[in-house]
Chain A
Amino acid sequence: MGAALSLTQTTQAAPLTAEELCRAHAASVCRFAALVSPSSADAEDLAQEALLRAVRSLRGYDPSRGSIEGWLWRIVANAARDAASRRERWRDAVVRLGIATPHETESAEDTVLARLGDPVLRRELSRLPWRDRTLLALRYGADLDMHEVGAAVGLSGDSAARATRRALARLRARLLEVRS
């Protein structure tokens, strides 16, 4: 995983410069931003804002208090939350807790949902509550492990894993509903 590799590199070569931070993490931040933002313009704004916050705070980063990745992704997640709260069009109401149990193997669902195109997946992802979307974007967009996801959003690794599974279940239910 890219993040694990850069962890080794960056903790050995402190202090990290702004250029090194951008070189190592800008691509992941951009991918994350693309998954949590409603448009490409919003994604670019978010990526820039998040990296700018990180660069401006870089002098305050203390390696003894944790990895650079944990520190960075907390900043990125906070920037995403702030951006979301600024956007009134974020929908945070459709949470279907009753369908939170993943269906482990249902070939009919596999067949039906595998045929849904990326545009549908993107649309339904964008309609998830922002917290779900943040979790999924950190895990699958930025390719963080559950410990790192948890650190970014203020949860333990186990809690982050459970929350991410619930987010996945909600997304799956939405996709099935669309198909039906």
Chain B
Amino acid sequence: MTVDLLEKRLQELDVETPDAGRVSARVLAHRAPRPSRRRVSRLVSVPVAIALVVVLVVYFVPAADLAIADKAPWGGEVLQWAGLVGAKDRITVVNSSVSSSGYTLTLQGAYADSTRTVLLMHVDPLADLWINTSITDQFFRSYRMSGGSENLNTGDMSMQFEPLAWPDAITGARITLHVPQLETPSHETVAGTWELTATLGVDVAKSLRSPAPGDLGPAHFSFTSVSYTPATIEVDVHVTGASAEDLNRMVPGNGGKEGPALQIEMLDPNGQIVNGNGAGSGDNGATDFHVFGFRTGGGGNYVVRVSYYGYGSFDRVVSIPS
């Protein structure tokens, strides 16, 4: 191999590079304050500091009004896809549009909490937006898309992104949606520039007391955290005594479909399963599961049902205040 070819391979090597915007934001947030050469009296510095905080708060905290449900342009179907039924009166109405290459995208509404950011969109004519779609915040940090749903008859869709990082997760954020290309129903790619902005607040998760642990066969289940927002309920479960392979092995399930040996379901106060996406990770004989469900309304008793194939199941109740 010539050196030139190897050099070229190195220059073009595909490596997972940290997000420069996110790193910059962290650096700028953590840098030490510049030492002052001149002493400023506390009498002067305190009001200045307060004024600065006020300016920062005004700058960062979103100014958008929350939606009034009966004026919202989206229907119940979209809220169900998006898992926002329980937070329907917390969605920021945006209703801004942009057109490019003959396609008009409308950002109808946006919602963010500690678990995710959700955009409610409409596209006309029909197209998919999933390709390379991302959002950035006011610090130019980018957030990847983690899921979405679309009605291919109406063009209504919901798009879900990674949760906002600090300090947005507390103060809210000014976000920009970037769509560089879309795909037609006949799978043709259409390039264009669609950018839409929104200012939204964030529903910070509140913690609840964790339920009592439980055992199923050799496996011991402890609940390490439970939290909720108006839209979601999250539960972290720590499992010992059974390997991740065994917990995740596929076994016969209801309706002839196979499913993992360990099932953690979340039921709302009406007994409906409201599981959203979950995630698991295992190391050194212990496995952690992060489970979240979409809330359907106000407070009440939600049930976390843990079932382990061959060993039965147990329920734990999580009470969310009204």
Residue ranges of A at the interface with B (Cβ–Cβ < 8 Å): 18-19, 22-23, 26-27, 29-31, 33-35, 40, 43-44, 47-48, 51-52, 55-56, 59, 102-106, 109-110, 112-114, 118, 121-122, 125, 136, 140-141, 143, 165, 168, 171-172, 175-176
Report if B11 contacts A (CB, 8 A). yes
B24 — which chain A residues lie within 8 A by C-beta?
19, 22-23, 26, 51
Interface of B is mostly: helix
Query: Given the interface contacts A19-B28, A47-B23, A121-B13, does A30 sit within 8 Å of B5 by beta carbon?
Result: no
The answer to whether A34 and B15 have CB atoms under 8 Å apart is yes
In the complex, A136 Cα to B27 Cα: how many Å? 25
For B1, B9, B19, B28, the residue with the greatest tally of chain A CB atoms inside 10 Å of its CB is B1
Residue ranges of B at the interface with A (Cβ–Cβ < 8 Å): 1-3, 5-7, 9-11, 13-24, 26-28, 30-32, 34
* A169 (CB) vs chain B CBs: closest residue: B3
The answer to whether A35 and B13 have CB atoms under 8 Å apart is yes
Interface of A is mostly: helix
The answer to whether B15 and A122 have CB atoms under 8 Å apart is yes
Query: Given the interface contacts A40-B16, A44-B18, A113-B1, does A140 sit within 8 Å of B11 by beta carbon?
Result: yes
Query: Given the interface contacts A44-B18, A56-B31, A168-B6, does A106 sit within 8 Å of B23 by beta carbon?
Result: no
* B8 (CB) vs chain A CBs: closest residue: A140
B16 — which chain A residues lie within 8 A by C-beta?
34, 40, 43
In the complex, A168 Cα to B11 Cα: how many Å? 12
The answer to whether B3 and A102 have CB atoms under 8 Å apart is yes
The answer to whether A34 and B18 have CB atoms under 8 Å apart is yes
In the complex, A119 Cα to B223 Cα: how many Å? 38
